[in-house]
Amino acid sequence: MPDASKVNDALQAGMTLGSMLRRMYRALSENVYGRLADTGFPDIRPMHSSVLRHLTADGARVTTLAAQAEITKQSMSAIVEDLIQHGYLESRPDPSDGRARLVTLTPHGQALQATLTRLSSEAEKVLAENIGEQKYAQLRALLMEWTQAENERERAGK
């Protein structure tokens, strides 16, 4: 059983779960995007990862990407447009549907995606060193479990 009074103290001291999650997220994010800028991708910001995270070699439609990233298609459209301007993506009409367009990575975009994955992994490694491999593994497992359960709940409640 978790020590409820201790949690309460923490809440009083402003250490909500949310604030800590947010802070850890920011730490990772700043690490990754700071280094990304130093690695030849100075025009890429966190928002761009919502595309890069999900885009596979097959390409995808803006609508699909938007759904995966849980943002509106207008927002996703703007992000994609920006990445096209910078040469990371290209988009061509989808042969199987006259309304749709297929978004794919250019070689430059593939390099970016690879670098982003690498830097994310390195950032996690730093965190693992700070709290210990064991606890890092625990944290990751916990989050993955929750995320997957959350996906279930959404599919169900929809």
Query: Could you tell me the smallest distance in angstroms from the CB atom of residue 99 to its own copies?
Result: 26
Which is closer to DNA, CB of 82 or CB of 124? Answer: 82
Is residue 72 a contact point for its own copies (CB under 8 A)? no
Give phi and psi for 100, each to the nearest 5: -90, 160
Q: Which of 5, 12, 74, 96 binds its own copies (CB under 8 A)?
A: 12
- By the 10 Å C-beta count (0-12 exposed, 13-18 middle, 19+ buried), 114 is classed as exposed
Instruction: Identify residues 79-118 at the interface with its own copies (CB under 8 A).
Output: 117
Q: What is the 3-state secondary structure (H, E, C) of 67-89?
A: HHHCCCHHHHHHHHHHHHHCCCE
User: If 0-12 CB within 10 Å is exposed, 13-18 middle and 19+ buried, where does residue 128 land?
Assistant: middle
Phi, psi of 89 (to 5 degrees): -130, 160
Pick the binder of its own copies from 27, 47, 67, 100 (CB under 8 A): 27
CA-closest candidate to residue 62, choices 85, 83, 33: 83
Per CB under 8 A, residues contacting its own copies are: 1-3, 7-8, 10-12, 14-25, 27-29, 32, 49, 53-54, 68, 70, 117, 120-121, 123-124, 127-128, 130-131, 133-140, 142-147, 149-150, 153
Per CB under 7 A, residues contacting DNA are: 45-47, 50, 61-64, 70-75, 77-80, 94, 97-102
